[in-house]
A and B are shown apart, each in its own frame.
Chain A
Amino acid sequence: MKLKSIYLGLLLALALILSYVETLIPFSIAIPGIKIGMSNLAVVWCLYLLSFREAMLLSVGKAVLSGLLFGNPVMILYSLSGAVLSCLVMCLLKRSNGFHVPVVSAVGGVAHNIGQLLVAFLMVQTYGIVYYVPFLLLAGLLMGGVNGSISALVLPYLQNYLSKGDSL
């Protein structure tokens, strides 16, 4: 596909915009690290429309750039580990071809939070962090599931559009 890099750029721009929009939404629970993770929509789309390589590139680019734009260096480390693990897990699930898109995305959300927790654990070096595990697992499942459901609705149209663009 010749247009791959163009779509990758578009998806990265979309991911960054969604990251920005998310900072505008006042959404905070007592537990740190819980986000809607709308920018992961772009990663899921990328995984299904393009390929694993592009999705991983997008994940890393998204984490680094959104960290630089809207966060701080420490945040980059957290979101980078989360994004890479999430992308790996989603790719494996997608390859297995045995799961629906919402579930792939939901487990991706869980993996994202686990990745962040691992970094947090390395940094804080306390078992007290286990306290957050159940909430982060469920939050990742829920948010990822919502993102995945949206993706499942949108992807067929994007797929259709892309296959038309290819023939141009």
Chain B
Amino acid sequence: MFGHGKIGHMKRVRNDCILIFIIVLLAGGFWLVQYRNSIQKEAVLQIYQNGELTEEYDLSQSRTIPVTGDENSYNLVLIEDGTVRVTDADCPDQLCMKQRSISKNGESIICLPHKLVLQIHAKEEGTLDAVTY
């Protein structure tokens, strides 16, 4: 019954490979489509200091932005490949540097000591907020 059917072993191996290949290809195709859609060209980085919007930057252009605020506070913001992160800061806890990079609508990096908020804002509606199973 197992491997002793009418079809030979090698033919089965061939079938197996074809089927797995198709599924992997399908997964790759979906991933590619999804990946291309996820690059939000319209999205901007909004920088809030003391709760007020001070600057806006286009995500599609890579650049480093030094952000200085009250009492000579300093954060270095890096925009790279549509993602934003903080690469240098002189705040005491340095938590803003440890936060993961942001790229999607609504994501944010917050530096509490400097009252600095970096937030992504997309012009169009993004992907799902949440999915529960």
A interface residues with partner B (beta carbon < 8 Å): 32-33, 48, 74-75, 78, 97-103, 106-107, 110, 116, 120, 124, 126, 128-135, 137-138, 141, 152, 155-156, 159
Q: Is the CB of B27 within 8 A of A131?
A: no
Please report the C-alpha to C-alpha distance between residue A98 and residue B132 in the assembled complex, in whole angstroms: 37
B92 within 8 A of A: no
Interface 9-mer from B4-12, B42-50, B112-120: B4-12
Q: Is the CB of B128 within 8 A of A110?
A: no
9 smallest A-B Cβ distances: which pairs?
A134-B31, A128-B128, A137-B27, A128-B127, A134-B27, A103-B16, A133-B30, A134-B30, A98-B15
Q: Is the CB of A137 within 8 A of B23?
A: yes
Q: Is the CB of B133 within 8 A of A75?
A: yes
Residues of A within 8 A of B128 (CB): 124, 126, 128-129, 131
Residues of A within 8 A of B34 (CB): 130-131, 133-134
B interface residues with partner A (beta carbon < 8 Å): 1-3, 5-7, 11-13, 15-16, 19-20, 23-24, 26-28, 30-31, 33-34, 38, 127-128, 131-133
Given A100-B16, A103-B20, A141-B24, 4 other A-B contacts at CB below 8 A? A32-B133, A103-B19, A138-B27, A156-B2
- Chain A interface helix/strand/loop/mixed: helix
Residues of B within 8 A of A137 (CB): 23, 26-27, 30
Q: Is the CB of A101 within 8 A of B2?
A: yes
Q: Is the CB of B24 within 8 A of A124?
A: no
Please name the residue on chain A nearest to B3 by beta carbon.
A100
Q: Is the CB of B30 within 8 A of A99?
A: no
Residues of B within 8 A of A107 (CB): 19, 23
Q: Is the CB of A133 within 8 A of B133?
A: no
18 A-B pairs (CB sep. < 8 Å): A32-B132, A32-B133, A33-B133, A48-B1, A74-B132, A97-B7, A98-B12, A99-B16, A103-B19, A107-B19, A124-B131, A126-B127, A131-B127, A132-B131, A133-B27, A133-B30, A137-B27, A159-B2
Residues of B within 8 A of A33 (CB): 133
Residues of A within 8 A of B11 (CB): 98
Please report the C-alpha to C-alpha distance between residue A102 and residue B2 in the assembled complex, in whole angstroms: 11
Residue in B27, B30, B133 with the greatest tally of chain A CB atoms within 10 Å: B133
A56 to chain B, nearest CB (A): 20
Residues of B within 8 A of A128 (CB): 127-128
Q: Is the CB of B2 within 8 A of A130?
A: no
